[in-house]
Chain A
């Protein structure tokens, strides 16, 4: 995100105003930052310190025992792998499907194009809670309940993918058509133009699509809860809610350790690539 323009009408005022701005921002940032920090530090606490009073960030006797316990109590490594492979597969599929459809809706003329685009957009408006009951029956008929197929197919082709198609279409519409004309004179067919010229140019839009799709799949909660019953098939969000021992006792620190392992890798990727991340979202054509 750039700040190279004199956007704000107020000039760099007196020092006092500057300090007030910082104080306001720091106070406002607390609810955004503290939960994540507290989660990370508390995952190293012994169980009895989680609800210690007064509350603290750091333990007197830090321990990583909760991390080991997370793997003992559930097939957590397996669940982690499930979430990662599903998210990657869904993201890759969506990128291909949406780049194809977005390009066609933006650039190729065919009868019924606008009507079909509206039909596709309806996919964005229907909440997944509306379709989950019939989808469950459909997947049951197909014998695919308690497999990962429903999570992969529906996410890769329905709502999140429609958003991706919309973003790709907005991008391709804005792409100068001369580039394609030159390629066509050079003898490239539609597919060649799409693959050799347009897709490489669409990197910003594709990265927005990748980010949004990955997060959508990574965060799925309703669908795994409905479709999956075997712990070794669970995905992370679902697994996180199952850290309660057989006697109903809490495993707070274990839960926090598992949550930390779920959150931190994504957060680190975000912090490394945050500039591209934010910029690609900002210019994803969702501006309206």
Chain B
């Protein structure tokens, strides 16, 4: 983010502070009232974040150090016991594996498909607006409705296998085996959300100055070279940002998993968010659930910081 300090009036008319200030100056100078207005303007947002995000995170840390008996309501301080339990949890490696496969798959497919669609639709031909609308439309379809419908289509006797049978292919029972269930949740998630990335990429592509293409063509560059040497570097800030938004979004995909597979079969699609929910609300293990939730938070933070660092190193330009 660029921090543009537009000269606001307040600063320049600020009263000279401290001992030497003339006595007659009123306390409420223009600068001070302006600053107060600033605080008042941000107050609802800041309080919202403190009360509904930061304080709960603090509580989650406290919960993770306790064992909570939900029936008696007693909390007993157990120190690092929940963290130890996480290390010894035989299910956790599988959950983390599923989380990595799902989030990784979603990010790679989402960025790649989003880019392909944006490039294909970044030209003039009849019906281009229609196609953009079609590819974007799942974004406005309710997640649960979208997932429910795919659930129908992916049944053994559902529409997809029915269509495959028409061309002589015997489709698998998608949701009943681990690998195909993982493919199903990843695919439906990508199709639902790729429209946003497509639109952001389209906007970025249209921001690339036409003269650059012109010049490259005069120099005899192939279209592949033009794409890798001009287009990609110029839209790299967008790529980075969407990658992070997409992966953070994928790490939080609860509804899709809960509705389509409920984490199954077995643990094959139990990603971390779903596991957190199960531990905390199905098994009422608040301490352990909070420990896992903090693990999720750590992943998100690390990824964001990593993105920030990589961005400095790789991104071609910064505004």
Interface residues of A (CB under 8 A from B): 1-3, 5-10, 12, 18, 21-22, 24-25, 28-29, 31-36, 38-39, 42, 50-51, 53-55, 97-98, 100-101, 103-105, 107-111, 113-114, 116, 119-120, 122-123, 125-135, 137-138, 153-154, 156-159, 161-162, 165, 170, 173, 177, 181, 184, 190-191, 194, 215, 218-219, 221-222, 225-226, 236-238, 240-241, 252, 255-256, 259, 262-263, 266-267, 270-271, 274, 278, 281-283, 286-288
Contact = CB atoms under 8 A, between A and B. Distances in A.
A53 B207 CA distance: 49
A53 B165 contact: yes
Contacts of A32: 134-135, 137-138, 191, 195
Given A109-B11, A283-B203, A286-B241, A255 B148 contact: yes
A129 B152 contact: no
Nearest to A274: B133
B35 A1 contact: no
Given A7-B206, A134-B60, 20 more contacts: A35-B146, A35-B149, A109-B8, A109-B35, A116-B42, A120-B45, A127-B251, A130-B293, A133-B63, A133-B276, A133-B280, A190-B34, A219-B144, A222-B277, A241-B259, A259-B142, A266-B141, A282-B199, A287-B241, A288-B237
Given A138-B59, A157-B44, A119 B49 contact: yes
B49 A157 contact: yes
Contacts of B2: 173
Interface residues of B, number: 125
B159 A38 contact: yes
Contacts of B38: 104, 108-110, 113
Interface in B285-319: 286, 289-290, 293-294, 296-297, 300-301, 304
B297 A158 contact: no
A131 B35 CA distance: 32
Interface string B126-146: 011101111111111111111
Interface string B213-233: 100110000010011000000
Q: Secondary structure of the A side of the interface?
A: helix
A107 B6 contact: yes
A278 B41 contact: no
B111 interface: no
A104 B281 contact: no
Contacts of B123: 3, 7-8, 10
B262 to A, nearest CB: 11
B134 A127 contact: no
B157 A35 contact: no
Given A54-B166, A101-B46, A252-B152, A110 B135 contact: no
Contacts of A263: 141-142, 145-146
Nearest to B116: A28
Contacts of A33: 134, 137
B265 interface: no
B254 A287 contact: no
Nearest to A52: B162
B267 to A, nearest CB: 18
A12 B277 CA distance: 52
B162 A131 contact: no
Interface string B1-21: 111111111110000000000
B120 A25 contact: yes
Interface stretch (B50-58, B77-85, B86-94, B174-182): B50-58
B53 A126 contact: yes
Contacts of A97: 44-45, 48
Interface string B90-132: 0000000000000000000000000001011011110111011
A101 B242 contact: no
Interface in B25-52: 31, 34-39, 41-42, 44-52
B54 A122 contact: yes
A135 B52 contact: yes
- Which 7 interchain pairs have the tightest Cβ spacing? A157-B48, A288-B241, A104-B41, A55-B162, A134-B59, A108-B38, A282-B203
Given A259-B145, A271-B133, A131 B290 contact: no
B34 A108 contact: yes
B44 A125 contact: no
B140 A129 contact: no
Nearest to B113: A28
Contacts of A132: 277, 280, 293
